[in-house]
Structure 1
């Protein structure tokens, strides 16, 4: 088993990283940054996003697993005191373990500029926001004009990312087994000139949306935690990635709705 660790960099995460290296060495596991079989994220959901973008070029070939060192994360299902158990399970032959692989859909984002097309993958979401002024953009769905948007911006989220920024802008929560993307408005303005749907929309796989921001206006673009400011983007196509998914190694059950309940409700009912 070849592995690599991405940690948050705080004292606890660094200590756990060193502990895992010792455990992995005792089991004969090999640390390999170039082509690991499994990537261990130690930190929070932000750490998992960093791990995903670091290894997205190998997304078809490896698994991810997370240890959370803060509050319960949606991507991390192990606690610091379980690191020994996790290391042992990672070294257990597949036929003897309870390993299940959970595959989550990703969003494919394509920027068209005068120089060509740039393609990116998002695990949580893509956002487009105005900078100096409110953003104006035409939104097409499946090549037909749908609306002319004016407001702070637009958020395109994956099902697993529906619990993140999408939820903060009143988008719905989607189970990650559904291959879809969600379009949510960020503070839209509705008047006689600009009229939007006013609620989030869910597009299934094989559908797409195109966003045409007003030309030569500075906008802020984000792919998960990665931000940039640009004024050269002519259009943005968003869809479910047709052939890429992230794979999580589940050595025990980690139900999505249980994570939602613990994160946002937290009350035990009897």
Structure 2
């Protein structure tokens, strides 16, 4: 049963991470909050490590809608999802805000993905699909059920607004404000010539739109796919349906640490 002001600490299962987890738990107890042993009991889930650890914490706890997530960086540098530094073990700003009900909450959009019309799963950063053999992958790209283009190339990346500053940015996609309910589609090495033609640039879809990818039967029905920082192993992929989810990931927000301040800190 979830308890008010109860924190669950997620950390990797190596010796160094577990040591930090134990020390952090002691510091949290000293601030008047309760550390619990399972995420089901928690109202706040804290990840320790990097943005990758935060993504894993959200995924492994099921994108919970009834909790707040918080990321603590162990690198000494604030990251996109990590608003707190490990060196500030007492982090009085966060604990005082929680106890006094003065928490500011940032809501991050997520996308939901269904492969072969099977049950959906969620992505906080992005979903990507690429060829797994030494040839291009071909798929029909449909928006709201209508054919938009036939893509041929190395693959596609579908990113959320917060994920737009990750893999998507390395492909020259736009960095998108997370207050915009939308998602972005970016090509990976598309073929554009007299025989094959796609848009050739990233495009952004409203949160009301649906995206469907239908793979051609060309011996590439076991593509390489990933969701956030985890690989998917699914054979015989025929179709992929993607849309913006009604769910969000709620995180503890620090003042003077907006998304655009994070972008500036990371890239400028």
Name the structure 1 match of 2:147: 145
Corresponding residue of 2:192: 190
TM-score (norm 2): 0.90
Distance 1:117 1:10 in 2: 34
Counterparts of 1:264 and 1:195, CA distance in 2: 32
Q: Provide the residue aligned with 1:17 in structure 2.
A: 21
Give 1:73 deviation, angstroms: 1.2
1:6 aligns with 2:10: yes
Structure 2 equivalent of residue 77 of structure 1: 83
Which residue does the alignment assign to 1:120? 121
1:219 aligns with 2:223: yes
Give the aligned partner of residue 53 of structure 2.
47
Distance in 2 of aligned mates of 1:189 and 1:9: 43
Post-superposition offset of 1:35:
3.0
Mapped to 2, the partners of 1:17 and 1:183 lie a distance apart of 37
Secondary structure, counterpart of 2:237 in structure 1 = coil
Q: What is the root-mean-square deviation in Å for CA atoms of aligned residues?
A: 1.8
- Relative distance call for 1:229 and 1:214 in structure 2 (3 A) is farther
Q: How many positions carry a matched residue from both structures?
A: 257
Structure 1 residues 213 and 177 mapped into 2: Cα distance closer, same or farther (>3 Å)? same
User: Which position in structure 2 is the counterpart of 1:231?
Assistant: 235
Query: In the alignment, what sits opposite 1:261?
Result: 264
8 Å CA contact retained: 1:111, 1:233: yes
**Shift, 1:10, TM fit:** 6.1
Name the residue aligned to 1:169: 171
Which consecutive residues of structure 1, in runs of 5 or more, have no partner in the other structure? Answer: 266-270
TM-score, scaled relative to structure 1: 0.89
Deviations 1:200-242 (A, max 9, x none): 000011101110112352201111112124332211111100x
**Structure 2 runs not aligned, ≥5 long:** none
CA distance in 2, matches of 1:214, 1:185: 17
Q: Is the 8 A contact 2:33 2:95 kept in 1?
A: no
Contact residue 211 and residue 237 of structure 1 kept, 8 A: yes
Write the distance in 1 (CA, Å) between the matches of 2:200 and 2:108: 27
